[in-house]
Chains A and B, each alone.
Chain A
Amino acid sequence: MAEKIVVDARNMACPGPITKLTKAYRKAKPGDIIEVLATDPGFKPDVQAWVQRTGNELLELKEENGVIKAVIKVTAKK
C-alpha cells in the first residue's frame, strides 16, 4: 500500500534536505508520497533539479513563512 513519508529537514543547511530526501527515496515504494519540509533557500532549485533528473512527479512546491514544502509522488521506481 502506498504510504506518505514526511521528511522534516527544517533548520538543516544544504545539502541536508536533499540528503534526507535521497535516504527517504531509497526506502520508498512506487506510489508513495514524500513530503519534504525545509528552510534552506537552496532547497527549492535543488528539489526541482532532483525531480527532473529522477523523473518523479512534483505535486506541490510552495513557500510559507520561510518553510519550503515539496510534495513528491514516487512514479519513477519500478
Chain B
Amino acid sequence: MTDPVMTATALERHYEVSSGLFRASRTLKAVAGVEFALYPGKTLAVVGESGCGKSTLARMVTMIEEPTAGSLTLDGKPVVPEDWASLRKSVQIVFQDPYGSLNPRQRIGTILEEPLKINRPDMSNTERTAKAREMLGLVGLRPEHFDRYPHMFSGGQRQRIAIARALMLDPKVLVLDEPVSALDLSIQSSVLNLLVDLQERLQLAYLFISHDLSVVKHVADEVIVMYLGRAVEKGSRDTVFATPFHPYTKALLSATPQADPRAKKERIKLDGELPSPLAIPDGCPFAPRCWKVQEKCRATRPALFGDAHSAACFFPENSPT
C-alpha cells in the first residue's frame, strides 16, 4: 500500500471552560485519543452526532488549533506549530455553510486568487489569474462567473467556489466539514460528483465529516464513528455498514431513515441524549444509553480492539476477530 499522506496519533484537544462566576474552570475533552491515516485518492469519513468532536478534529488537522496532546504527521514529517505556515497549503478545508464562508464584498476571481497572493509571492498577476480561471472551469463554473459576487450564486455554486478556493494551493489533503449538508438533494448529487472527479484527477486525500450516513456510505472508503470525543468504531465502509461492532454504530444505522417505504423499520430506541461533554461518565461513555450495559462497562473504559475493523466495546455486536 502507498504511504499515508497524513497520520494522527493519540490526538487530543481539551478546552478549559469556566462554569459560573466563582467556580473553578473545568476541562472539556472535545477530542480524546483519535488515530487515523489518510491516503492519496482515498476518503476517510468521520461520523457522529453533533458535539462529538468532528469539527474540533478538523481544526487540528487543518492547523487552525494546536492539539493538546498527540501528534500529526504530513508526508512523514511531524506537524509542529513552527512549520504550520509552510504546511498549511497542503491541507485545506471546505465548510458546511456556503453562505458564511465567502466574503460577500469580493468577486469570485479575487476570492480564488487570494490564497496565491498570500502563499505564492513568486507568482505573477497573470499567472495567478490564469490559475484561478482554470480552477473555475475545473469545478464546473463558467468563465463569466469570474467577476461576479457570491450573492449572485446558488448554494451549490457557492460550495463549488469554496471547493475551488481550497484547491488553489494544490493541497494533498482536503477536509470537508459537512460539505453537502446545507444543499438541496438535486444540488447535493452534483457536488458529490464533483468531489469524486476531483479526487480521481488530483489524487486528493479526503477527511469527510458528516452526520448523514447515506452520504457517507456513498463516498467513504474508511469510516470512523465518534462518540463524545472518542473513536468508538473504525473500519472499511463495507464492514462498518454491514457488520457494525459497536452498539452505538448499530443504533445510529438503525435510526437513519431509509428512502424506501417498504423497508422494515427495526429502530433501536436509545434512551436519553448525549451526556454533557463536561460530565462524560467514567467507564464506557456510551453506557448511560446502551441496552447491553453491564457492571464492567461502568467501571472500565473499553479500548479500541481489533485490527482492520475495530471497536471500543466489551460486548460488541458482531464480535471482532
B is a partner of A = no
A residues engaging B (CB < 8 A)? none
